[in-house]
Amino acid sequence: MATKRKCGKVYLIGSGPGDPNLLTVKARTLLDEADVVAYDSLISPALLASLSARSLNIPVGYRGYGSSKLGYGIHPTVIEMARKGKTVVRLKSGDPFIFGRGSQECSALNEEGILFEVVPGISSGLGAAISAGFPLTHRDFSSNVVFASGHDLRGGSPCNSNWNSIAQTNGTVVIYMAASKVEENCNRLIEFGKDEDTPAIFVASATCGDEEVVQGTLKNLGQLCKGIHPKKPAIIIIGEVVRTRELFNWRKELPLNQKQFLVLRQRNSESEMAKTLKSLGATVVEAPKFRSKIINPLPSISKEGNYIIGQKESFTFFLQHLMRSGKDIRELLNARFFVMDENTKSELNSFGIKEAALLKGHCHKAIVESDLPRDLIIVTRKEGRKSLQADLENLGHKVTRFEVYEREDIYLDIEAPRFDGVFCGSSSSIDSLTKSSWFERCQNAPFFTIGKKTHDRALMNNLKCFMADEDTLNSMVSLILRKVRGV
C-alpha cells in the first residue's frame, strides 16, 4: 500500500436502486458538496438531474461485470481530480460492495495513496423486491437469501458461484446483472435441480418511472421477458416469496405509479409540485439546474420603495447588493415588500421583514389583479419578469427594474428519459427547454401549464398542453390525474 499523499479525497457512494429519494442523507450531503461527481452508466436520469450545478459531473462508467479489457482499477479521471486536491464522489449504482467493483476501486486508490471513504447504498436487489411489492424473507417461505451474479453462468475465469448449492436452497435467490441472460440463468437453476415451477420475477429499472415487472416461473420467465430492452439494469428474484406480491404490492395503490414527469424548475430547490407528484407515486426529474452570479455595477436602492420579490434567490442577491453598498436590511424599514410564494415570504420574515404581502397567485393574471401601489420595483434576474413588467405598465403602474443577478440554465448532457408529462410554471421555462437537447424527447408528452401566458407559449411551440382551471397546486394536480390516469 502506498503512503497516503496530501491530495483530495474520494468517496465511493452507493446511489441505491435509482430513485433519488432513496439516497442516504450522508450521500446527499456529499453529492451537494463535491467538486467532482464521477458517475456510472447505470445511474438513473432522475438522480443525475439532482446533481449540483456547481460540481463537475462526468460519466466514467461502463457495462459488463468483470471485464478484462478495462485496463484499470478505477477511472484515471478520478485519480487525476483527487491529485488536484478535489473532493471526488465516485457514484455507483446500488451498493459499492455488492457486485459494484467497489473493492477493485478501493485497491486502486490504496495503490495510488489516495484517501477514500465508502458510503453504503440500498442494494438494487433489496430495492427491486420492495418496489415490486414483496419481501425477500418471510417466516412461512424463506429465512435465507442468496445473492448471485448473472454473469457467472458457466464457470468462466474465475468461477466463484456454486450453482448446485444455489439451486438447492429453500430460500430466496437474487440474481444481479440479469437483463441480457434471463433465460440462461433460469435454465441454469433448473439444470441443477430447481423446480421449474418455482415463482420468479424480473424487475428492470427498479424504483424508476420506467420500471418494468414481469412475473412468472423459472420455466417461462425468459420467454415473458423477450420484449424488454436488454440494456436496462435488471434483477431476477426466485422463490416462494414472490407469491406474496398479491398481498403486499403497495405501489399499485398510487395513482401515478410507473409514471415519469419532468418539472421545469424555477429555482434549484425542490418544488412543491415535485414533492406532490412523488407522493402520488411518480418519478420526477427536475430540470434545469441554475448557476447564478451577482450583477455589477450596483443600482441605487430606494429606502422607501415598493419591492416585488419574485423568488427567494432574488432576495438573496438583493441582500448581497445591500451589503456591498455598506447597508443592511434596517435601511429598508420603511419599504414595502410583495412576494409571490410562501418560501420567499418565510425568507423575508427570517430577516425581520414581517409585513411582506403574499400576492394572490403565481401567474401574471393573479399578480396584476392584486391591489398594488402605483410605483413598483421588480427585483429579478437579468432579463427576468419582462412580461410581468409590461402587464403592470399597461395597467398604469410605474415600474423600475432591479436586476440583481444573472443565471445560466444547465441541462445535464445525458439522454433525456421518456416523460408521461411536463409541468411548466412560466413561459421562460419553456423557452429554456426548447433550446436544450432534451426538447426532442419531451415535445410529444402532454404539457401542464399554470397561467395563460405560459399556456400560450406552449401553444406557440406546437405542444400538446393543458391549463389548470385555477392558479393553485391542487387544481394542477387534479388536471394531471385526469389527463394521465383518468382519475
190-to-161, 166, 264, 366, 456 alpha-carbon distances in Å: 15, 11, 49, 66, 60
Q: Are strands 375-381 and 398-410 parallel, antiparallel or unpaired?
A: parallel
Task: Answer yes or no: do 367 and 384 share one domain.
Answer: yes
Domain that holds residue 312: 291-409
CATH code of the domain in which 454 resides: 3.40.50.10090
pLDDT for residue 65 is more than 70: no
User: Residue 19: what pLDDT?
Assistant: 92
- Of 103, 122, 141, the domain-final residue: 122
- Distance (Å, whole) CA 99 – CA 104: 11
What mean pLDDT comes out for the span 161-175?
92
Q: What's the pLDDT tens digit per position in 228-248?
A: 877 788 999 999 999 999 899
- Of 106, 122, 138, the domain-final residue: 122
User: Residue 63: what pLDDT?
Assistant: 53
Using pLDDT thresholds of 50, 70 and 90, give the confidence band for residue 303.
confident
Task: Answer yes or no: do 304 and 386 share one domain.
Answer: yes
2 in a structural domain: no
**Which residues fall within 8 angstroms of residue 394, CB to CB, at 6 or more apart?**
none
Using pLDDT thresholds of 50, 70 and 90, give the confidence band for residue 64.
very low
User: 235 and 203 in contact (C-beta within 8 Å)?
Assistant: yes
Task: Please state whether the peptide bond connecting residue 158 to the residue before it is cis, i.e. omega within 30 degrees of 0.
Answer: yes
**Which residues fall within 8 angstroms of residue 51, CB to CB, at 6 or more apart?**
31, 37, 39, 57, 289, 412
- Distance (Å, whole) CA 248 – CA 258: 17
Cα 329 from chain centroid?
36
The strand order across the sheet containing 172-176 reads 145-149, 172-176, 234-238, 199-204, 212-217
Task: Answer yes or no: do 444 and 479 share one domain.
Answer: yes
Task: Answer yes or no: do 241 and 274 share one domain.
Answer: no
Q: What's the pLDDT tens digit per position in 24-52?
A: 999 999 999 999 999 998 899 889 988 88
Task: Answer yes or no: do 187 and 87 share one domain.
Answer: no
Q: Are strands 36-39 and 199-204 parallel, antiparallel or unpaired?
A: unpaired
- Of 76, 92, 122, the domain-final residue: 122
**Which residues fall within 8 angstroms of residue 471, CB to CB, at 6 or more apart?**
360, 361, 362, 363, 365, 366, 450, 451
User: Residue 6: what pLDDT?
Assistant: 67
342 in a structural domain: yes
pLDDT for residue 84 is more than 90: yes
Sign of the dihedral defined by the CA atoms of residues 341, 346, 347, 351, in that order:
positive
Using pLDDT thresholds of 50, 70 and 90, give the confidence band for residue 67.
very low
Number of domains in the chain: 4
Task: Answer yes or no: do 304 and 334 share one domain.
Answer: yes
User: 292 and 381 in contact (C-beta within 8 Å)?
Assistant: yes
pTM for this model (two decimals): 0.82
447 in a structural domain: yes
Q: Burial, 296: exposed, middle or buried (Cβ in 10 Å; 0-12, 13-18, 19+)?
A: exposed
1 in a structural domain: no
- Distance (Å, whole) CA 84 – CA 65: 30
The one-letter amino acid code at 343 reads N
Using pLDDT thresholds of 50, 70 and 90, give the confidence band for residue 366.
low
End-to-end CA distance of the chain: 61
User: Residue 178: what pLDDT?
Assistant: 83
- Find the range with the poorest average confidence among 3-7, 110-114, 163-167: 3-7
